[in-house]
Amino acid sequence: MERLLIEGFWMHFEQENPELFNDLQTDYPALLVIQQQIEGVMQTIEIMQRAGILDPVVLAQNLSVLIEELSPARFMLVKQIFQSICGDELPAFMETGLLNSVILHIVIACKPVFRYYRYEKVDFKDKNLRYAIGLMVKFFLDDFDRFLQR
């Protein structure tokens, strides 16, 4: 089941956003984040299977959860905001190969923000959503700076 979930996840990204798909394939930390997300739904899968729910239904429901949480549109919105706020620190993230992994972590952290604003499709113009995500990015960068100063 885990293998099918991973294949479905990658197939979705390959079809919906090939650029992100290629970036994620070459970014080892991003692959770890995705693997953690998949491991996070495995307990739900086991519960659903024990309840007698058919495997195709279990797979479809959990794949939709993964795709929703790590959707290309959310990723691209957070990445755009991150790049506009990050400024001088952006090259460091790009050189170390951490950029995609950091963006994925912020996307996951922004899950309540996306849910609050009922964000389901690309809407780069929603100022309230952009401000809320911008605050999450600023919190992340502040924490990152404090970590580096230790």
Quote the pLDDT of residue 120. 59
**Of 52, 70, 88, which closes a domain?**
70
Residues 75 and 149 in one domain: yes
Residues 76 and 150 in one domain: yes
Quote the pLDDT of residue 119. 66
Could you give the angle at which helices 18-26 and 28-50 cross, rounded to 10 degrees? 100
Residues 147 and 76 in one domain: yes
Residues 80 and 54 in one domain: no
Domain extent at residue 107: 71-150
pLDDT band at 20 (very low <50, low <70, confident <90, very high): low
Quote the pLDDT of residue 123. 59
Q: Tens digits of per-residue pLDDT, 99-148? A: 877 888 888 888 888 888 776 555 567 788 888 889 988 888 888 777 76
Q: Domain count of the chain?
A: 2
Residues 130 and 58 in one domain: no
Residues 17 and 66 in one domain: yes
> Which DSSP symbol is given to 124?
T
Instruction: Please name which of 61, 72, 70 lies closest in space to residue 5, comparing C-alpha atoms.
Output: 61
Residues 108 and 123 in one domain: yes
Q: Where are the alpha helices (DSSP H) in the chain?
A: 2-16, 18-26, 28-50, 55-69, 72-86, 90-96, 99-109, 111-116, 127-149
Please answer whether residues 63 and 9 qualify as being in contact, where contact means their C-beta atoms are separated by less than 8 angstroms: yes
Does pLDDT of 27 surpass 70?
A: no
Diameter over CA atoms, the chain:
53
